[in-house]
Structure formats: structure tokens, C-alpha cells
Amino acid sequence: MQADKAAARTAALARRKAAHEVTDGRASSVLSEVLAGHRGLPVAGYLPIRSEIDPRPAMAEASAHGPVGVPVIVAAGQPLIFARWDPEGDLVEGPFGAHVPALQVPVVPQIVIVPLVAFDRRGGRLGYGGGFYDRTLAGLRANGPVLAVGFAYSAQEVDALPLEPTDQPLDMIVTELGVIDVAA
């Protein structure tokens, strides 16, 4: 299974990099439309690294209506925590090259914008392999409903992914082409 995931990850990262090089920013406005339907709910986004699609414009808009957090890695094998993000707030270097808020005020999200390497239309998600989002979503969902929104370039879609029982499904995927609702 791990070899299948590694091969899928390598191919998907190449597709994501190519899509990132020609992006026009449309996906962020689609994400803003999705978040507008949930004004005031706590949201967790992320600060993009490498060729990840950038959710910050949509996060900035959402932050005018409610708390927005970004992930902080506590330790390997642990779920993420989320620290309140302000578009103008100070950031410091965090693990894996991601930035985190200098002042870490906890946020417990009801909507999680999830970065990914690849996705399928059934809500399957392939990440970097650390299991951080799977553990985090499982923990959040154990305490109540959480909307997991994959955010990706349409080029990251695949027909099927090598998934494991611990992989947490996405409820929807947002791309520059629109919304794929997989919760039904």
C-alpha cells in the first residue's frame, strides 16, 4: 500500500506543480463562495507551502465574519492544533517550512480547509503521508460535525486513490472549476 501511495503522490505532485505555474486565482473566489454560506463558524485554513493552492484570500474574507485558524504541528503522530490567524498578524517559522502565528490563540474549527496532493470524487484524499489531517479530522469529528473541504487544482483529481481505513474522507472539494459535493 505504501508503494502505491508513494507512486500516486509523486505523479500528483508533478500535476499540482504544473497547475500551480499557470493558476489565475479563480479557485479562491470559489472557496469564498462556499465559506460565505457558513459565515461566523470557526474555520481552519492553511498557509500554503511549495505548490499548494492558496486559500489566504478566502480566509481573509472569512476572518471578517468569524475566527480563522491555521494548523500548528505539535509532534509527529499527533493531531494538529489550530492557532487563530489574522491576515495582518505576525508569523514565525514552524515545522516543515510552514509559517504559524507568533501569538497562538487556539481555534476549534467546524470547517477545515484541507490541503492535499490528490483527490477523487468519492472524497478520498492523498496528503503528504504524515497522517496529520486524518488524525485531526477524526478527533474533531468525534466531538461534533465538521465540514472537511479539500482545496485543490482540478489537475489533482484522479479516478481512484490507494486509501486505508484510517484515511478521513472529504465532504467536498473546491477547485478553480467549481465545487464537487461528495457528502451526499
Please report, in tens digits, the pLDDT of each residue of the chain (184 residues total).
566 888 888 888 888 888 888 877 778 899 999 999 999 999 999 999 888 999 999 999 999 999 999 999 988 899 999 999 999 999 999 877 789 999 999 999 999 999 999 999 999 999 988 899 999 999 999 999 999 999 999 999 999 888 888 899 999 999 999 999 995 5
Q: Which domains are delineated in the chain?
A: 2-181 (3.40.50.10420)
The rounded distance, in Å, linking the Cα atoms of 85 and 150 is: 19
**Are 135 and 79 contacting, i.e. CB atoms less than 8 angstroms apart?**
yes
**Strand ranges across the sheet with 43-44:** 81-84, 68-72, 43-44, 111-114, 147-151, 172-175, 178-181
Residue 1's contacts (CB-CB under 8 Å, 6 or more residues apart) are 162, 164
The rounded distance, in Å, linking the Cα atoms of 170 and 125 is: 7
Which pTM value belongs to this model?
Answer: 0.91
**Are 163 and 124 contacting, i.e. CB atoms less than 8 angstroms apart?**
yes
